[in-house]
Amino acid sequence: MKVLVCGGAGYIGSHMVRHLAAYGHEVVVFDNLSTGHREAADAATLVVGDLLDPASLASLFASHRFDAVMHFCALSLVGVSMNEPYLYYRNNVAGTLNLLQAMRVAGVAKLVFSSTAAVFGNPETELIDENHPTRPINPYGASKLMVERILADAAHAYGLRSVTLRYFNAAGADLSGEVGESHEPETHLIPNVLRAALGGGATLKVFGDDYVTRDGTCVRDYIHVNDLASAHLKGIEFMADHDGAHVFNLGNGQGFTVLEVIEAARCVTGVDITFERAPRRAGDPPVLVASSGKARNLLGWVPVFTDVAAIVESAWRWHQRPRY
């Protein structure tokens, strides 16, 4: 198969590229390198371009005949999206419409789309399945939900097949050491905990210790990036004999508090990681845990990294020797 990976130089996209290459697929990456890294895409042909530039998309689709598209390009910082909603809607919604239009013109009818647990807003149940109400509380989550709606409409109108994967907390790194998580600024918990273990950086902050959870800190469902990648490939296989727009939640189905993650990192690194307690971060729901039964049943997806310590350990290998 020849697969276009939009955003393939980013954190999750770069793991996808390696996964596709390992299964013998031909991969072209389209990325504007705004947050991605050129080295992260070196298992693929890299085309530098922007979804907001329809001419560069037209030339991309004129130069290649793709069997399917995976779409990882997005701005994804919840806090920034609150202050810069136009930026988020333009990139995440208008950019995706440009991609969908280019696919339609080129006759490419299969898409795997990266969505997020942020579409649920403040959840009503601890375990979140696909039927849980979607009421995003920030422009980032709203922008992803808008695209989900567009994909449902496109299935009816144009016969576009799509699989939308709502990630819970993507974490970890490939064990090869060739790709990993490298964001600047870094807002995610596990990289910040590991930076603290390495020392020399800013003090680790725990945002909020007065939530109604077992130790007062937020509970999240951490899922390894390689497990996310395997779900995408299964998504493409699923579309071979399923038309329509399909949505799946992806997580391990088990929640860990911020303090439990820090404890796991202490065990993995052998460093007595210190932190300070800080006020709650705006927009953080107390508990987000996925029910991924649908992905397991319909896609045949089975996550490999089910232990949070193993996920942290894979990230630790990367953070000790990052390639970029």
Amino acid at 250: L
249 binds ligand UFG (CB under 6 A): no
Please calculate the CA angle 232-238-242 and round it to the nearest 5 degrees. 135
Q: Count CB-CB contacts under 10 A for residue 65.
A: 10
- The whole-angstrom separation of Cα 100 and Cα 291 is 29
Helix (H) / strand (E) element for 256: namely strand 256-257
Amino acid at 25: H
Among 91, 114, 169, 230, binds ligand UFG (CB under 6 A): 169
228 binds ligand UFG (CB under 6 A): no
Q: Which stretch binds ligand UFG (CB under 6 A): 85-93, 175-183, 279-287, 301-309?
A: 279-287
91 binds ligand UFG (CB under 6 A): no
Among 113, 140, 238, 256, binds ligand UFG (CB under 6 A): 140
112 binds ligand UFG (CB under 6 A): no
118 binds ligand UFG (CB under 6 A): yes
By CB under 6 A, the residues from 21 to 80 that bind ligand UFG are: 76, 78
Which residues lie closer than 8 Å to 158 by C-beta, 6 or more apart? 104, 109
Reply yes or no on whether 324 is catalytic.
no
- The whole-angstrom separation of Cα 15 and Cα 315 is 13
Among 67, 80, 85, 207, binds ligand UFG (CB under 6 A): 207
Minimum distance, C-beta of residue 10 to ligand UFG, in the bound complex (Å): 12
220 binds ligand UFG (CB under 6 A): yes
Among 32, 115, 116, 182, binds ligand UFG (CB under 6 A): 116
148 binds ligand UFG (CB under 6 A): no
Q: Which of 11, 88, 89, 140 is catalytic?
A: 140
Q: Read off the DSSP letter of residue 296.
A: I
- The whole-angstrom separation of Cα 62 and Cα 108 is 12
Residue with tokens 């149940």: 125
Q: Which positions are annotated as active-site residues?
A: 140
